Structure formats: C-alpha cells, structure tokens
Chains A and B, each alone.
Chain A
C-alpha cells in the first residue's frame, strides 16, 4: 500500500474519533457530573440523524436543518430532564438503566411510526460535495474534513466553556461539592438541566453531521451508544479531555483494525479497552 492509503485511513480515524467524541463528551458529563447512566444517549444520536434527514428534506438545506435540529434537541433534552431525569439523581444505577433502556425502546418505536424502517440517505450540501485528489486515483471527500473541523471547533468551545466561563466554574464546583455550591447561591438544579440538555444536543448534533456519510437507519444509535460507553470508560468517567483522547484511540483502533485484521476488526476496540483497563482501571484521565 502506498502512503496515500495510510493518509486516507488516518483522516478517517480522526473523523470517526472526533464524531464519537461529540457523543461521548455529553455522556461523560452527564455520567460524571450528575451520576446518571443514560442509555438513551445513543437515541439522541439517532434522533439527530433522523432530524437531519426529515428537516433537510423539508427545508432543502442541511445547515438550516441542523440549526433547527439543535434547537429541537435542546428543548427535548430540557423536557426529558424536567420530566424524568431530575427524579433519578438520587436513585440507584439499576433504576436509571431501566428507565433509559425503556426510553430507547420508546424512541425506536416512535422512529418506526414517524419515519418508517427504511434506510435513508441525506445529500451532502453541494458546496462540500467534492473530493480533494491525493494521487492519480485516490481522493478524499471534503465533507469528511468538514466534519473533523466542526468537531474540533466544538471541542475547543467546550474546553473554553468549562475552563474559562463562570458557568463552567459552577459546573466544576458543583461536581465536587454540590451543597457548597448551592449555599453560595448557585442554582445547581438549573445548571444540571442545562448540562443535560447540552449533552443530549451534542449527541444529536453528531448524528446530524454524520447522517450524510453514514446514512440514516433503524438502530443506528445503539452501536454508537456502546462505543461511547467504551470511550467514557477508557477516558475516565467525567473527563472531557479523557473522552477526546479515548475517542481518537477508538477511531484509530477501529479504522486500522478493519484495514489490517479485517477478520478481528469487531473486537479490536474491546481488546484496546481491556488492555487499557488492565493498565489503568480508573481510565486514562480519572480525576483524583
């Protein structure tokens, strides 16, 4: 194989890893800060993809569809937190798993009723629908580069939000000492609602971005959910930075596993997880 094939696989790994990061970062925040195991997180990825499909068909513009989709998923996240998840903070993980597994079934059924069980494609916007030639017969689609760029922007924005804004400080403060944050006048319940909605919206946004390359199909959230949990566990629960590193590791393991050991590609990711957990049971970036 010549170098351009490697380059393509590296770009694919990064794009896949960054997309996974978008989903997993919300999951790790919700798990790490609020202590909730949210199995329905993958459903939001699926919901995002279907919103991209139906809203872009409706409006004829993927970006308008994404904008509308983000607004809708934030609203859905707030309603779900208020209606269901706010009751789960002090409950056991088993109850959280039961409720959120139930939500997966409900969302899949609603998807089946509203959008049917067919596989759909979402067109790439015309101005991004071309490829950059690498060699005489190899080229790389610009839309995939676009996905990577947007994901990096979001990762940077999340870093600034958590590390530099007062709201970010309150989130971190509430994470270590919820009661103290409250007695300083911080409305921690409202902040949790916001974090929850943002986390869910990130998953949905990832689904919207991915829709044109992965197409839109039933059960698409489940595979992402499992991989996102792998990312959260490898990166260390609650660590956004850990999620970024872990997601990229997974992206490379999965992509190159498919190239070099196609027969075992399905387990490459899990072997990586097992090896890392043997080495660091708390994950790569678990805070003390």
Chain B
C-alpha cells in the first residue's frame, strides 16, 4: 500500500451549537480516488473544511503525511501537499488569469514541479486564450478550469474537489470530468464531491457516504453500485 497522505481520527466539528461532524475517521492514501457522498447538509463540505483546517474541530486528530496537524493553520496543511477546489470556485476576481495561476505556484513536497504554467495552459487551452483577462471576466466553466489549474500549480499529492461540475453546462461538465480523470491518472490522489453519483463511482476506488455527520457506508465502487438499497436510502438514487 502506498503512503498515507491524510488521516483523520474521530473528528467532531461544530458550527456554534450545531454538532455537524460526529466522529469521522477518514484516510487518504497516495494515488487513491475517493468519492465523498451524501445529501445536502450531511456534512461533506464541513468534513473537507475540517481536513483543511479551515474550521476548527473540537475533538479528534489530523495527520498529514505522518505529521500531527490537529492544530495547524490552513496554509501549513496546504503546504504538506493538499490542494482544494472549493464549492463556488473561489477565484480571485481582482487578479488576472495568469496571476491566479502563478500566485501560489510551488514545487511538490518532494521538490518536483510536475505542473508548470506551460503544462496547465496546454491542459486548459481556454485559459491560455484569456491569460491577461481579469478572473471576474471568465465564464463559469473557465473559472472552474482556473480553480483546478491554480490548485495543480501547487503540485499537490492530494486534490480535493468540492462540487467541481455544479452549475456548469453539460458539455463543460464532461470536459471537467475528462480533466479530473487526467489528474487521477497522473498519480495525484483525489477526493471528489459531486451530485453526479454515476460519474463519481465510474472513476473512484473507494466511496464514503455521510449521513448527519457520520459515515454510514465505506467501500469500493463495485460494491456501492450493487447496493441499490444504500443508493436509494442515503443518496435518493
């Protein structure tokens, strides 16, 4: 088995008085592709934000590449090789496309630059055409490509994608899925949250279903696809 990139044990996260995550164990190994599923409000985004230390967890432990990061600031987690494509994209509208890409560029944890500006622009030709446009002038699909490209420029070992195809035209969504497959094949581990469950299970090795802040299912895509009871009960499929 490859190296454990990220390991959370017994995470409990609250928003004010609301108990959102109720003891989550979550592990990602190098090169793995994981689908994170569950209906709206079940804690998917909160789990991601807890893993990235963007929200504090009240209990539990977080290790990134073997280092304890339970109380680490978000930038330190990111610098251990984790990149994030957030829901709603989060591009910097006051920076140009090029600036969005290069602002946080850095080599991977083991010092390699697999993803350079040239490679990103070859992967996303539409960004190359708009290199000097402001981030705010892009279409939704272009913004999403920019967010993914920006994340890759940090040369991560793990890429977390939260609703990367949400609100995109079907053809653009197909393009984004193609890129996600390409990223996966390049050896980067991915955690994918997406409403299109069949698209997710088509490329994931393992799937995790959250219900009310707890994990109710964890298993390979083949197993999940055969369990219509689980799909129906927890995902409404």
Contact = CB atoms under 8 A, between A and B. Distances in A.
B103 A166 contact: yes
B78 A172 contact: no
A173 B103 contact: yes
Contacts of B54: 179, 182-183
B94 A287 contact: yes
Interface stretch (A43-51, A185-193, A217-225): A185-193
A177 B102 contact: no
Contacts of B93: 176
B150 interface: yes
B54 to A, nearest CB: 6
Interface of B is mostly: loop
Most A CB within 10 A of own CB, among B75, B77, B95, B99: B75
Given A166-B102, A169-B102, A185-B154, A180 B95 contact: no
B73 A189 contact: yes
B74 A169 contact: no
B86 A186 contact: no
A190 B77 CA distance: 16
A182 B76 CA distance: 9
B79 interface: yes
Interface string B67-91: 0000001110111000110100010
Contacts of A287: 94
Q: Is the interface of A mostly helix, strand, loop or mixed?
A: helix
B106 interface: yes
A254 to B, nearest CB: 32
B92 A176 contact: yes
Contact of B104 (A172, A176, A179, A184): A184
A52 B54 CA distance: 45
A169 B90 contact: no
A175 B54 CA distance: 17
Interface string B13-29: 00000000000000000
Given A166-B103, A169-B99, A173-B103, A180 B86 contact: yes
B99 to A, nearest CB: 5
B14 to A, nearest CB: 18
A8 interface: no
B83 A175 contact: no
A170 interface: yes
B211 interface: no
11 contacts: A169-B95, A173-B94, A173-B95, A180-B92, A181-B104, A183-B52, A184-B78, A184-B104, A185-B154, A186-B103, A187-B73
Interface of A: 166, 169-170, 172-173, 175-177, 179-189, 287
Instruction: Pick the 6 closest A-B CB pairs, nearest first.
Output: A184-B104, A185-B78, A169-B103, A182-B74, A180-B90, A173-B92
Given A169-B95, A170-B103, 13 more contacts: A166-B103, A169-B102, A176-B92, A180-B86, A183-B78, A184-B75, A184-B83, A184-B84, A184-B104, A184-B150, A185-B75, A185-B104, A287-B94
